Structure 1
Amino acid sequence: MQKRKLGTSELEVSPLGLGCMGMSEFYGTGNDEESIQTIQYALDQGVTFLDTADMYGVGHNEKLIGRAIKDRRDDVVLATKFGNVRGEDGSFQGVNGHPDYVKQSCEDSLKRLGIDHIDLYYQHRVDPEVPIEETVGAMAELVKEGKVRYLGLSEASPKTIKKAHQEHTITALQTEYSLWSRDVEEEILPLCRELGIGFVPYSPLGRGFLTGQIKTFDDLEEDDFRRYNPRFQGENFQKNIDLVKKIEAMAEEKGCEPSQLALAWLLARGDDIVPIPGTKRRKYVDSNLGALKVNVSKQELEQIDKIAPRGAFAGERYPAEQMKSLNQ
């Protein structure tokens, strides 16, 4: 499998990573043994880039990955995140970017993962109460100590990205990007390219919507957080379903799955882009990797742009309260 470099760094990863969040929380019931087998299967297929965060399952996801890669650390470029604070009961307690919290979070993540260094350490959400220079300064100290190799940000504004990058090289920005959500094309992606920062799209399949497998609201389990996402509700849901049907029709004509077309479109946006589709089942690893064999012509890219131009999908990306933490 060919590799892609993140930004101007020497950090090489598979062109598609594996998002592990759903194995522990948010997307219905998980199964630890199946999840571990899925991670190991992905590694066997050539995936080298795993993505997690300390908040996923309140530490559960990092422990799960630790178990999965126990004897395979050298096969993995491991990314995790800090900043979203959760109580032991799972309650959300805001964002913290204070230097002492940064360092303690890193120590805790290393322990849960059972490793001695993190390859890519992201600030999950920007703390508006703490100057980004202070947060990134603490992250930079972790690099000097050998506990972290490279630094990243998630859902940061252009202003924050510039300030952070002046403090210490930012290797990657992780922000939602897909046919379903193209806001980053306006300012964020051009800035990353200007500064030599790699781009890691999360939810590259529109939280599963672009797979074509979600037909009705009732397809979502009772504890699935998408039930509270504006894009999955009411008129928005139907409008978005209608758009996905057009993507499905184009994929059928091309002889691939809708999800593969959506990922191939994203991969074609540039070699500096490394999507991290999430799954907790092995069969979807194969499906996602199939996108690497799907070539999208210039004419097809133009056709997709007509079907799903920027802003085409209805509804905000998150509920109102969570939207406040984006683009900080």
Structure 2
Amino acid sequence: MISRRDYLKLALLSGAALSLKPSLLWASDQALPLLTRQVPSSGQTLPAVGLGSSATFSRVAGSDDVEALRAVLQAMLEHGGSVFDTAPSYGASEQVAGRIANQEGIAERLFWATKLNVAGRGAGQADPQAAQAQLDASFARINKPVIDLIQVHNLGDVPTQLGLLKDLREQGRVRHIGVTTTFAQQYEYLEQVMQREPLDFIGIDYAIDNLTMEQRILPLAQEKGIAVLVYAPFGRTRLWDRVRGHEVPDWASEFNAHSWAQFFLKFVLAHPAVTCATPATSRPHHMIDNMGAALGALPDADMRQRMIAHLESL
């Protein structure tokens, strides 16, 4: 079993961290099929691992050197991924990624998921004109006539902003619409919106040490036929702090997990309500490692409990 830290050391020793594919370190898994999930409302099939653009991706997007982002998008596509999640509020992420996608001619290969929110986190009323201006900017940045998914970010003024998205879906300019939140105080409202609105997607926080969504939200998503994007499957940096200095257990190979990233992602993907996990990264070798979680087996219920117990023991 090899940790993410160890394979990165091997990558560096190879003389070219970006040219060595981490997947070569577990080549036996490469013949395994890529895990995909269907969007219930449309039947579209998506790879179960994608790329988020907050955190480190956003920081690099705001710098003078964005070549790593070009490489990380290419790495995702080369390893079977397509889902890219962004938002106008993620600094320069949406703008820079859109420019790269068009320069590289990969815009149509990406499942482009962005967000709408000019009202703030669940507060106040959105100015419809400002919301429309934000939507126009998002369309201009990716330069696609139809955007795959737009969600109301952090449940900001859902009646106004989701109303605009419903209109766009009816016009055929957006394929899927939804809402997101990663704030515990909004979970009850999220449930209410899921009950009454015709959503295609929700975007939520969910991780091996953050199981609140298993109580009501994920079962409701299954009942209502709503696809689920998972944000922060690593607990942002929380899980990395927890496992620092520890090796991935040998028994993780039973479900084809060869790094902590794959361990955490496979736990999330094992829930049947989850459509795609989109951890953010600005490093191509991390992107390739993450895509490895979409290969091979997933842990069953007993194994998931063993995974939780192991993490809690560290």
Relative to the length of structure 1, the TM-score reads: 0.72
Name the counterpart of 2:199.
170
C-alpha distance in 2 between matches for 1:162 and 1:261: 32
Name the counterpart of 1:112.
141
C-alpha distance in 2 between matches for 1:126 and 1:52: 16
C-alpha distance in 1 between matches for 2:101 and 2:110: 8
Do the aligned partners of residues 209 and 161 (structure 1) sit closer, same or farther apart at CA in structure 2, a change above 3 Å counting?
Answer: closer
Q: Within 5 Å, which residues of 2 pair with 1:1-328?
A: 1-21=34-54, 22-25=56-59, 31-57=65-91, 60-70=92-102, 71-83=105-117, 97-127=126-156, 130=157, 132-155=158-181, 157-163=187-193, 166-167=196-197, 169-210=198-239, 212=240, 214=241, 241=242, 244=243, 248-249=246-247, 251-255=249-253, 256-270=258-272, 272-293=274-295, 295=297, 296-307=299-310
Contact 2:228/2:273, CA 8 A, preserved across alignment: no
Unaligned stretches of 5+ residues in structure 1: 87-91, 215-240, 314-328
**Secondary structure, counterpart of 2:281 in structure 1:** coil
Q: Which amino acid aligns with 1:118?
A: I
Contact 2:49/2:278, CA 8 A, preserved across alignment: yes
Q: Which amino acid aligns with 2:165?
A: M
Contact 1:98/1:135, CA 8 A, preserved across alignment: no
Do the aligned partners of residues 30 and 305 (structure 1) sit closer, same or farther apart at CA in structure 2, a change above 3 Å counting?
Answer: farther
- List structure 1 runs of 4+ shifted beyond 6 angstroms: 26-30
C-alpha distance in 1 between matches for 2:36 and 2:126: 32
Contact 2:116/2:131, CA 8 A, preserved across alignment: yes
C-alpha distance in 2 between matches for 1:135 and 1:10: 25
**Secondary structure, counterpart of 2:59 in structure 1:** coil
**Secondary structure, counterpart of 2:228 in structure 1:** strand
CA apart distance, 1:2: 4.2
Contact 1:17/1:49, CA 8 A, preserved across alignment: yes
Contact 1:118/1:149, CA 8 A, preserved across alignment: yes
Q: Which amino acid aligns with 2:99?
A: R
Q: Which amino acid aligns with 1:47?
A: G
Do the aligned partners of residues 26 and 40 (structure 1) sit closer, same or farther apart at CA in structure 2, a change above 3 Å counting?
Answer: closer
Contact 2:263/2:293, CA 8 A, preserved across alignment: yes
Name the counterpart of 1:233.
none
CA apart distance, 1:193: 1.2
The root-mean-square deviation of aligned C-alpha atoms, in Å, is: 3.1
Relative to the length of structure 2, the TM-score reads: 0.75
Q: Which amino acid aligns with 1:40?
A: Q
Compare relative contact order (CA 8 Å, sep 6+) and give the higher one, 1 or 2. 2
CA apart distance, 1:39: 0.7
CA deviations over 1:72-98 (Å, ceiling 9, x no partner) = 222111000121569xxxxx9x76544
Identity %: 23
Contact 1:23/1:61, CA 8 A, preserved across alignment: yes
C-alpha distance in 2 between matches for 1:253 and 1:298: 15
Q: Which amino acid aligns with 1:251?
A: P
CA apart distance, 1:27: 11
**Secondary structure, counterpart of 1:69 in structure 2:** helix
CA deviations over 1:152-208 (Å, ceiling 9, x no partner) = 1001545445446644x2111101101132111111111111111111110111113
C-alpha distance in 2 between matches for 1:7 and 1:165: 16
C-alpha distance in 1 between matches for 2:199 and 2:96: 27
Unaligned stretches of 5+ residues in structure 2: 1-33
